[in-house]
Amino acid sequence: MADVIVIGDGPAGLAAALFLAKNGMSVEVYGKNESWVHKALLKNYLGFQRIPGPELLRLAREQVEQLGAILVDAEITTIKKVEEGFQIDAADGQGSTADYLILTAGPKTSLVEGLGLTLDEKGYVLGDRNGRTNVDKLYVAGWSTRPDKIQAQISAGDGAAAALDILSREKGKEFHDFDNLEDDPDLG
């Protein structure tokens, strides 16, 4: 059982996994590495003058795995709310359970049916500024909740906000993931 399951491996899902894994939570990210970012040339992503989407995703996936998150190449077929949290099942027979679930799998996914989530008039999952939905411990980030703002940078920010909210909840106080230069022996 993982602490957090992330469904979707684009910028939102990978950003959430990065913050969570970096701070000691066990994270499983489910996706097929088919994010729309693979078709993008990013000239508006902070820190990069110009980066091909596939390269950004490659770097992000590598970073997330180095921090201990598990990337699973699988198509999720069902999500269920269970006593332990959430249970997912994949088309290839894989599955898992976790305390928390972050949905970043794109627009109007049929996976949310039956979970009791509140949707907007267009069928997108409603979440607050931290990605919290009306279902306890189920978060939404990126394109799954922002159909009109599908930018890699915004999606990554959404994923980070959801992760920080989960970390704050687990720690029982507001948590900020901030590292100091002087604490790094290679830089300080």
Query: How do residues 30-69 score in pLDDT, each as one tens digit?
Result: 998 988 888 998 999 899 999 999 999 999 999 999 999 9
**What's the pLDDT at 9?**
95
Question: Which domains does the chain possess?
Answer: 2-183 (3.50.50.60)
Can you list the residues of the chain whose pLDDT is less than 50? none
Whether the CB-CB separation of 57 and 33 falls below 8 Å is answered with yes
